[in-house]
Structure 1
């Protein structure tokens, strides 16, 4: 991949013709004096020709030892970087010029390429050819280096996440179990989706972009050409068509895949996940969940409920929902609210990659690359806003809860917090009397 500056063309003015006259060609002049005058005339002609020749040329060194170029902001060119390309800035000293460029982002694969090849070209007005060549080569090298640094940073973060998981698991040895035992526990294997061609396993968790990742596996199966083409109206049938380890029924086949395939998972800040499940299934109109679970919650936790609420399950408050979460055995909760550690066997299966919904683009980009499926399927950018537990919506709901109820909720989901290394949201920490 090459990155180049656009060169500007500067047309020379028409070169005038110069003549010299032998002013001393009178009779009797000495030959020596005539020859000297001729030399002076030749020198004058050369100097005059040179001054005209280079009068408007742009081939010159910068006025200062270091002139700063920014992508699309040199010699009066207005930058036209999109917002997606406005990322961290890296500076590269090429000797005569300091070149700055936007770091690659997940949402724009080649922001530098977009800048240098059509969205605000760099002018060479202030560069000689040698400096331009150096800057051109250095930009290309540093662009690739920025990708490599980003990849190394991601690997370090993956190592950190897995270390936290191992350290927490070491405190709970009873959570561990052998691959052989897992392979025979078919009821444990329903969340694990696999693909034999690419030798990859994904453990699905509801309310953590699970529909997106299931769509990826439908593409790998050849049912669709892209994740955007997946017909969500047929989701129930499509979901059942996915290959899960539970369907294999042969312990040897299950064990082989668990030992040899790349395995990954996506998790989410636990309090935000529970709120998302509540809003999607009970707060908004969802007749199935309101009828099956909403009526149960109202019957159990509301004083003097009216007949309509008992029949429809509409209007479950967040406080009632949290009481239901904390008073129900975790393994009995619906999978949209069940603690993550109860489904993903975090201390029994050694995951190769742990994605966080809060860093979905970063993790997705690298997991697709690591598993070798990045050339087969592409996932649209996933918005990570309103996931941190610090937004107005989150605070609005959790402000309804008293400190005692927040403590009960923390006790229910604390292992998700500890296993996956999440800091407590500021409001939750405040209600618990802790530092966030």
Structure 2
């Protein structure tokens, strides 16, 4: 009797495990299987042993190994590309559905190799990141922690495209709107008349920054539970990871211009009123941005810098993403990025990256709506900021300067 009862319990537990495995497989891989440009070969079917033959002690490691196997069969290591080049069978699809897919055989074939200087540029940027992360003279909070130690809420800037095996860490004020548009096109997360949107610039701005349009690492916990961090590591190992950066001081100027020189009710209430009260001798600033602009009141760039340097600022809340340091947004010492783009060389870098991802026939990097803040304006903008404050500001953003190869702005710091 006891043996029969144990057998039934074991069968029930084994069945529950198989159902869980099927759910996770369908959620994580099945969806991308349906929408890849080229179909994924399922490979040879390997029969699973009956549940009663599986020892209970190996349940969790076996499950994680299965997840690794699922991802590995779809990707070539380090490329994020499907391994099966067979064309899609569209014989029973509608014309719109047929138009939707782009078989591998139609992908661009480049007759000339990528310029050697572009490949060398990327090698130098990746090598610099590795050296700076290993250099004890570069010190910043969280530098030496492991990926597992990064709180989930700090992984919200890592956008995942499972269709093409891409992870993009977006940095606000570094052409992130256009790169988010590209990620929406590639992931086919926006449909128009039942067909995926293909024109990045046709995507409305409010949707570009709508979090529901992007699948980010911090959402893994809700979908995968306790297996979330393991899946993140699998994707980080197999997918192509990229980010774009710019001169840290120029990025701050761009953030100030966009959020405080233009009418932005949200930023006025959350930040501008604080700056006006604390640094501009405005104990009762206007209640709305329209009222403030009507009488010519808004925080100056110097007030903005004072706000960044005030120790009380981050005691109340972390820096807003538009001026938070890149090392805090993208964790370059925990994540080994495959491609590091600079806004200063955006067009060349974008073309290089899209070719490397082999999606340059699917989407092009938009050339309009480009941020126009120039590095040559730095001296003018910082002329109202005391020299000592400039030096303190450099210390605050020095890790970004050194990690990504930007020269110390001596002309600004040594006046």
TM-score range, shorter chain: 0.5 to 0.7
**Residues 179 and 258, structure 1, Cα contact 8 Å, conserved in 2:** no
Secondary structure of 1:348's counterpart equals coil
Q: Aligned pair in 2 of structure 1 residues 318, 337: CA closer, same or farther (>3 Å)?
A: same
Counterpart check, 1:307 vs 2:284: yes
Secondary structure of 2:118's counterpart equals helix
Of 387, 391, 397 in structure 2, the residue corresponding to residue 403 of structure 1 is 387
Which one has more relative contact order, counting CA pairs under 8 Å at least 6 apart? 2
Aligned pairs (5 A) from 1:137-216: 148=113, 151-172=115-136, 175-182=143-150, 185-216=151-182
The Cα shift of 1:234 comes to: 3.7
Q: What is the CA–CA distance in structure 2 between the aligned matches of 1:346 and 1:241, rounded to whole Å?
A: 24
Q: Aligned pair in 2 of structure 1 residues 186, 385: CA closer, same or farther (>3 Å)?
A: closer
Q: TM-score, normalised by structure 2?
A: 0.63
Give ranges in structure 1 of 5+ residues lacking alignment: 1-143
Between Structure 1 and Structure 2, the one with more helix by share is: 2
Aligned pairs (5 A) from 1:362-401: 362-381=348-367, 386-391=372-377, 394-401=378-385
Q: Aligned pair in 2 of structure 1 residues 181, 431: CA closer, same or farther (>3 Å)?
A: closer
The Cα shift of 1:384 comes to: 7.4
Aligned pairs (5 A) from 1:22-421: 148=113, 151-172=115-136, 175-182=143-150, 185-222=151-188, 223=190, 224-237=197-210, 239-249=211-221, 250-303=228-281, 305=282, 307-309=284-286, 312=289, 314-327=297-310, 328-329=313-314, 332-381=318-367, 386-391=372-377, 394-421=378-405
Q: TM-score, normalised by structure 1?
A: 0.60
Structure 2 equivalent of residue 432 of structure 1: 413
**Residues 359 and 384, structure 1, Cα contact 8 Å, conserved in 2:** no
The Cα shift of 1:302 comes to: 2.2
Give ranges in structure 2 of 5+ residues lacking alignment: 1-109, 191-196, 222-227
**Residues 152 and 218, structure 2, Cα contact 8 Å, conserved in 1:** yes
Q: What is the CA–CA distance in structure 2 between the aligned matches of 1:227 and 1:159, rounded to whole Å?
A: 29
Q: What is the CA–CA distance in structure 2 between the aligned matches of 1:240 and 1:158, rounded to whole Å?
A: 32
Q: Aligned pair in 2 of structure 1 residues 162, 389: CA closer, same or farther (>3 Å)?
A: same
Of 422, 426, 430 in structure 1, the residue corresponding to residue 406 of structure 2 is 422
**Residues 159 and 169, structure 2, Cα contact 8 Å, conserved in 1:** yes
Structure 1 equivalent of residue 14 of structure 2: none
The Cα shift of 1:276 comes to: 0.4
The Cα shift of 1:322 comes to: 0.3
Q: Aligned pair in 2 of structure 1 residues 385, 286: CA closer, same or farther (>3 Å)?
A: closer
Q: What is the CA–CA distance in structure 1 between the aligned matches of 2:285 and 2:373, rounded to whole Å?
A: 34
The Cα shift of 1:180 comes to: 4.3
Q: What is the CA–CA distance in structure 2 between the aligned matches of 1:214 and 1:383, rounded to whole Å?
A: 13
Higher alpha-carbon Rg:
1
**Residues 360 and 382, structure 1, Cα contact 8 Å, conserved in 2:** no
The Cα shift of 1:177 comes to: 3.6
Q: What is the CA–CA distance in structure 1 between the aligned matches of 2:143 and 2:393, rounded to whole Å?
A: 21
Secondary structure of 1:265's counterpart equals strand
The Cα shift of 1:378 comes to: 1.1
The Cα shift of 1:310 comes to: 6.7
Q: Aligned pair in 2 of structure 1 residues 229, 276: CA closer, same or farther (>3 Å)?
A: same
Q: What is the CA–CA distance in structure 1 between the aligned matches of 2:145 and 2:359, rounded to whole Å?
A: 30
Q: Aligned pair in 2 of structure 1 residues 384, 248: CA closer, same or farther (>3 Å)?
A: closer
Secondary structure of 2:330's counterpart equals coil
**Residues 253 and 373, structure 2, Cα contact 8 Å, conserved in 1:** no
Question: Deviation per CA, 1:335-393, whole angstroms, max 9, x where unpaired?
Answer: 101111111101110000000011000110011111122121111236878555114xx
- Of 366-375 and 381-390, the range deviating more from structure 2: 381-390
**Residues 180 and 255, structure 1, Cα contact 8 Å, conserved in 2:** no
Secondary structure of 1:293's counterpart equals helix
**Residues 193 and 203, structure 1, Cα contact 8 Å, conserved in 2:** yes
